[in-house]
Amino acid sequence: MADSNATKTPWRIYLYGAGSIAWRHGVAAQSLGEDVEIFAADPSQDARESLLSKVPKATVYQDAQDMLASSPGRARDIVVVAVPPFLHHAATLRAFASGRHVLCEKPLATSETEMAEMLAASDAAGRILSECSFRYLGNGALERARQLIETGGVGSVYHTRFVNRQPRSRAGIEYQPTSRWFLQRDKSGGGTIFDWGVYDMTMFFDVVRPVAATVNYAWLATPKTDIDPTDPPISVETHAGASLTLTLDSGAVVPFHWERASGFHGAPQVAINVDGTAGGLTWEWVPTFDYKAEVDAAQEGFRLTHYTDKNGEVDAEEQMFPGFGWEDANQRPLLAFVELIEGRESLALSRSRMEFNFGVVLAIYKSASEGKPIHVQLK
C-alpha cells in the first residue's frame, strides 16, 4: 500500500471544499507537523478567505480539479471530501483517480449504488476510503459499556434503546442557518437521519457490536413551524424512528428502538438503554449542547451508569470518563485516518463496519419508503 519513500515525505492534505467543517479538518492537519502541506478548493471566495483565516498555511484553489491535478498523488496524500452529500460520490471518484486516500464527511453517500462505486474506486486506486461518523468515538464510557456487556455485567441483553428528541435543532434553520442545503433532499440526501442518525448508529454499534440488523419498520416526519422557509421548502425529515432487530456476536437477537428528532413539537428527551437480565446501562457520548458549558463539561467528562440489583433494590453505580469538546471531536477524523493509513491502532471504522453501519442507515430510509423489513449483514 505505502510507497517506499512514504515516511520521508510530508503529509499532504487536500480539502475538497472550504466551508465550516473543512477548516476544522484544516486545523487538525496543522497538528500533523510543521512540514505538512495543506491545500483547499472551493468556488466561493468568501469560503476560501474564511478558511485561510483559520488555516493560514493553506494553498487555495477555486477549482478542485485544478487542486488535484497540481501534482501526482502520493501514499501520504489525503483528500478530505467536505462538500454537501450530493457531491460526495463524484468528489470521491475524482480523488481516487488522482491516486490519493479519501476521508469523506458524513453521510458517506446518498445511496447503496454510490457507496459501492466509491468502494470500487478505492480498490482500483489501491487507496483507503473512510468517513467521519466515528468522530464521537474515543469515549471511555463506550469502551466500559462494551466491556460490561461482554463480561456478563448486565447478564443476557434482551432490549436496547436510543432516543434523542430535540424540538428545535434543525440544520439549516436553528443550527447553521446559512446552510439551507441541509433542508433540500436533492443536496443533503436526507434529513436528521443523515445528519445525526449516522453518528447514533456508529456510537451504539461500537458498544453492542451487531453482526446483522433487520429494520422491521421505520417512519419519517417533518412537523411544521412558523419559521419554516418556503423558498425552497423543507424536503427532508426532521423526526424519524425505526424498530430494529440486532443479532449480536454472541448469537443473541435483541430489539433496538431508535428515534431521532431535530424538529418536533414537544419536550427534549434523551435516553440510551441496554437492558439485561442482571443489570442495565446508560451513558453519555457527546458534549453538552450548551456551548457556554462546553469547557466545564469536557473537564467533568462523560458519565456511565451501571444498574444492578442489591438486596432487592436498584443500585446505580456511576463512573466518569475523560471528556472532550466539539472542536476536539471535529478534528478527530483526520487524525484517526492518518493512524489507519499508517497501520496503527485507530478509531476509524474498518471497511466492513463502515459498510454495515451506513447500510443500516440506508435501510431505515428504504424501509420507511417501501413499508417492509430490510436486512443488513456484516461482511
CATH number at residue 310: 3.30.360.10
Grid coordinates in use for 225?
413551524
Mean pLDDT to the nearest integer, 283-302: 67
Spatial distance between the Cα atoms of 218 and 363, rounded to a whole number of angstroms = 9
Do 159 and 119 fall into the same domain? Answer: no
Cis peptide before 333 (omega within 30 of 0): no
pLDDT for 325 equals 87
Residue 132 domain-assigned?
Answer: no
Spatial distance between the Cα atoms of 332 and 135, rounded to a whole number of angstroms = 6
pLDDT band at 288 (very low <50, low <70, confident <90, very high): low
Do 322 and 350 fall into the same domain? Answer: yes
Amino acid identity for residue 234 in this structure: I
Of 127, 155, 180, the residue that ends a domain is 127
Residue 205 domain-assigned?
Answer: yes
Of 99, 127, 155, the residue that ends a domain is 127
Question: Is the pLDDT at 257 greater than 80, yes or no?
Answer: yes
Q: What is the CATH number of the domain that holds 74?
A: 3.40.50.720
Spatial distance between the Cα atoms of 38 and 15, rounded to a whole number of angstroms = 8
Question: Is the pLDDT at 7 greater than 70, yes or no?
Answer: no
Instruction: Please answer whether residues 198 and 149 qualify as being in contact, where contact means their C-beta atoms are separated by less than 8 angstroms.
Output: no
Do 145 and 294 fall into the same domain? Answer: yes
Neighbour count for residue 274 (Cβ, 10 Å) = 28
Do 202 and 54 fall into the same domain? Answer: no
Do 239 and 112 fall into the same domain? Answer: no
Cα-Cα end-to-end distance for the chain = 22
Q: Which residues of 294-333 are buried (b: 16+ CB within 10 A; e: fewer)?
A: beebbeebbebbbbbeeeeeeeeeebebebbebeebbbbb
Spatial distance between the Cα atoms of 121 and 107, rounded to a whole number of angstroms = 18
pLDDT for 188 equals 98
pLDDT for 3 equals 45
Do 73 and 172 fall into the same domain? Answer: no
Do 151 and 104 fall into the same domain? Answer: no
Residue 166 domain-assigned?
Answer: yes
Mean pLDDT to the nearest integer, 354-376: 98
Do 108 and 185 fall into the same domain? Answer: no
Do 109 and 214 fall into the same domain? Answer: no
Question: Is the pLDDT at 264 greater than 90, yes or no?
Answer: yes
Do 180 and 151 fall into the same domain? Answer: yes
Prediction pTM value: 0.94
Do 305 and 225 fall into the same domain? Answer: yes
pLDDT for 34 equals 86
Question: What are the tens digits of pLDDT across the range 129-184?
Answer: 999 999 999 999 999 999 999 999 999 999 999 999 999 999 999 999 999 999 99
Half-sphere CA count of 20, side-chain side, radius 13 A: 8
pLDDT for 299 equals 60
Residue 14 domain-assigned?
Answer: yes
Question: What are the tens digits of pLDDT across the range 30-87?
Answer: 999 889 999 999 999 999 999 999 999 999 999 999 999 999 999 999 999 999 999 9
**Domain housing 71:** 6-127
pLDDT for 133 equals 98
Question: What are the tens digits of pLDDT across the range 336-345?
Answer: 999 999 999 9
Residue 118 domain-assigned?
Answer: yes
Amino acid identity for residue 111 in this structure: S
Which carries the bigger pLDDT value, residue 190 or residue 291?
Answer: 190
**Sign of the torsion angle spanned by Cα atoms 326, 327, 328, 331:** positive
pLDDT band at 1 (very low <50, low <70, confident <90, very high): very low
Of 96, 127, 158, the residue that ends a domain is 127
Residue 135 domain-assigned?
Answer: no
Spatial distance between the Cα atoms of 192 and 260, rounded to a whole number of angstroms = 7
Residue 272 domain-assigned?
Answer: yes
Do 123 and 168 fall into the same domain? Answer: no
pLDDT band at 289 (very low <50, low <70, confident <90, very high): low
Structurally, the chain folds into a number of domains equal to 2
